[in-house]
Structure formats: C-alpha cells, structure tokens
Amino acid sequence: MHYWGKVLGFIFGFMLFKLPGALLGVIIGYYFDKGYAKALSDNGGFARLLSGRNNLKNRMIFFHTLFSIMGHIAKSSGRVTENDIALASALMDKMGLSGELRQEAQNAYRAGKQADFPVAETVKEFKQYCFGRRDFLAVYFEIQLQAALANGQLHHNAESILTKIGKTLGFNPAEVATYISQAKASGQYQYQQKHQQHTQQSQQNQLPQLYQILGIEQSASDQAVKKAYKKLMAQHHPDKLASQGLPEQALTLAKERAQQIQAAYEIIKKSRGL
C-alpha cells in the first residue's frame, strides 16, 4: 500500500497549521499516493523495475510458479502419467528452456506434485510479484489453461483448481469462465486445423469456436466483435508484455495466441461481409 504521502502530509500540515493543516495535508497526501501508485503500475510495477538488474531471478520466479502449478494440476487427476510429463517437457521445448531455467522448471514441476504443495500461497505470492498487472496475469493464466488442455481434455479436478487460481489472480467468476471457454475453443480449433481439410464449409462449421476464442456470443454486434478483437490484441501485444516483465521464452506463446486471435477475427469478419 502507498500511504507515505498521507503520513508526511499530516505531519507537515500539523506543524504549519495544526489540525486544519493536518487534515488538508492528509487530503493532498491521498492524491499524491494515488498518483504514485498509478505511475508505478503504468510502468510495469516491481517486475519492471527489477527486470534489468535481476532478470534471471525474475524468469525463475515466473517459471517456478508456472511449472509447479502444472505439476499440481497434473497430479489432481489421481497420478501423473508419462503423457503429462511429456506434455510438460514439450512446453519447455516450445519455450526454449535450457540450463538453469529448465532445471528450475523441472524441479518446480516435481514440487507441485507433492501432496502438501501450497498452491494458494504460491499463486498469491506470484500475484504480488506481478504487482497486479492484469494483462500479464491474464497471459499467465492462459498459458496454464493451454498446458492443462494440451491433450485436448480438461479433468474436472483440474478445472476446479484452475477456477480457484483464476479467482486468486483477481479475475471475477465470469472472467474465469470466459478464459476457460476460450481455452477450450482454442484447443478444439487447433486440433481441427491439424486434422481437417481447410475448406469454406469447415470454416463455417468452426464459427462458434471462433467466436468463443474472442470471448463473445455469435449474436454479438459488429461493433462488439471489433471491440473484443482490439482488446485481446492489445492484451497480447509483445512489447507491452515484455515491459511488464513477461520472460522472452513465454512471449512465444503470447505471440501464437495473438496470431490465433487475428485468424479468428479475419474469418468472422469475412463471414459477416465486413
């Protein structure tokens, strides 16, 4: 919390004008604290301030949280299978993790599988590390969902854990439900892209999923479609995410998501004759 402006305002105001001055000083200090907090947030919070001096540590914090939660989710279905481990390794490969970062990710995954793994505390600490940057947290949550849905299915225990994680990160129930719906639609769309012929008819059949990828109903107005698209593209802008502290290895996944959003929007736009 930022309160030093109010404290100093009270002290100096009281020294100059006694109680009326103290009250005026608190009011001035309130607006100072508010402006200071916004300025810090707009510049990426503490993750941004630390990124230049301790970049390796910041990346380790990110990947430790990411893969420990992944291990915990994999274990939630009963046991961690060889397929679960292969999916985690594939994600590490996709991000290009090697050396210390890969070792940290592997250790974190093993830690997350333990019965006493403190999932709630881990997520809360990560949120504090991110200084509440919503776009950063949203992309992190999307990566978790993407990893959980890598095999095309989402176990009900995993969905329950992910729902709690989304709420702990600060998203309301409707937002969490939308993120999960988007991730499911994204996974289904990717699967169909790999296994079906790309015809005009197949694109028409995939329209419901494409609307879900944008997080809107198929009955949405043209203006609502465009607004949803712009919001998602801004949320996944690589320069913005990098400035907020998202490791370069994770930016690859954010860029892939942006490409999928772009593709979904283009097909929807074409189907509407826009």
Q: What is the pLDDT of residues 164-173, one digit of tens each?
A: 999 999 999 9
Please determine, for residue 79, whether its predicted confidence score (pLDDT) is greater than 70.
yes
The rounded mean pLDDT for the chain is 78
- Same structural domain for residues 112 and 211? yes
**How big is the chain by its Cα radius of gyration, in Å?**
22
Whole-model pTM: value is 0.70
What is the percentage of the chain residues whose pLDDT exceeds 90? Answer: 26
For residue 234, give its domain range: 55-271
> For 100-141, what is each residue's pLDDT tens digit?
888 888 999 999 999 889 999 999 988 887 776 888 889 899
In a domain, residue 48? The reply is no
- How far is the C-alpha of 130 from the C-alpha of 87, rounded, in Å? 26
- Same structural domain for residues 248 and 120? yes
**Interhelix angle for 156-168 vs 119-130, to 10°?**
40
**What is the band of 52 on the pLDDT scale with cuts at 50, 70, 90?**
very low
> For 10-48, what is each residue's pLDDT tens digit?
565 556 555 665 665 555 555 445 554 444 444 444 344
Cβ neighbours of residue 137 closer than 8 Å, sequence gap 6 or more: 127, 130, 169, 170, 171
Any idea which residue has 């776009």 for tokens? Answer: 135
pLDDT at res. 39: 42
Cβ neighbours of residue 240 closer than 8 Å, sequence gap 6 or more: 135, 234
Cβ atoms of residues 145 and 179 within 8 Å: yes
- Same structural domain for residues 101 and 234? yes
In a domain, residue 69? The reply is yes
pLDDT at res. 20: 60
pLDDT at res. 28: 55
Q: Give the number of domains in the chain.
A: 2
CA neighbor of 132 nearest in space, from 45, 231, 217:
45
- Same structural domain for residues 25 and 155? no
- Same structural domain for residues 152 and 230? yes
pLDDT at res. 187: 75
